[in-house]
Amino acid sequence: MNHVNVIAELEPGQILARGREVIRIEAEALGLLDEVLDDNFIKACQLIFGASRQLVITGMGKSGHIGRKVAATFAATGTPAIFVHPGEAAHGDLGMLAQGDVLLVLSNSGNTSELRAILHYARKGDIPIIGVASRGNSLVGDMADVTLLLPKVREACAVNVAPTTSTTLQLALGDALAMAVMDMRGVSKNWLREVHPAGSIGLALTPVADIMHGEEQLPLVRDYAGMPEVISVMTRGCFGLAGVVDETGALIGIITDGDLRRSFSVLTTAFAHEVMTPSPKVLPAEMPAGEALMFLNDNQITAAFVVEDASISAPHPLGIIHIHDLLRVGLN
Which pLDDT belongs to residue 188?
66
Can you state the percent helix, strand and coil of the chain, rounding each to 5?
45, 15, 35
Model-level pTM?
Answer: 0.68
**Average pLDDT estimate for 81-96:** 90
User: Which amino acid makes up residue 248?
Assistant: T
308: number of Cβ within 10 Å: 14
Which pLDDT belongs to residue 65?
96
Name the residue among 48, 139, 140, 63 with its Cα closest to residue 101: 48
**Average pLDDT estimate for 14-28:** 95
Query: How many angstroms separate the CA atoms of 246 and 221, rounded?
Result: 9
- Collapsing DSSP to helix, strand or coil, 278 comes out as strand
CB 93 within 8 A of CB 117: no
Sign of CA dihedral 280, 285, 286, 291: positive
CB-based contacts of 57: which residues, under 8 Å, 6+ apart? 67, 68, 70, 71, 74, 81, 82, 83, 84, 103, 104, 105, 106
Supply angle C-alpha 94, 100, 102, rounded to 5: 65
Query: How many angstroms separate the CA atoms of 73 and 174, rounded?
Result: 8
Which comes out higher in pLDDT, residue 303 or 267?
Answer: 303
- 173 burial class (0-12, 13-18, 19+ CB within 10 angstroms)? buried
pLDDT in tens, 144-164: 999 999 999 999 988 888 999
CB-based contacts of 177: which residues, under 8 Å, 6+ apart? 41, 44, 45, 48, 70, 74, 104
Residue 306, phi then psi, degrees to nearest 5: -105, 130
pLDDT in tens, 171-212: 999 999 999 999 998 876 666 666 655 556 667 778 889 899
Q: What is the largest CA-CA distance in the chain?
A: 88
Query: How many angstroms separate the CA atoms of 105 and 86, rounded?
Result: 10
For the chain, the average pLDDT equals 90
User: Which amino acid makes up residue 68?
Assistant: R
CB 104 within 8 A of CB 55: yes
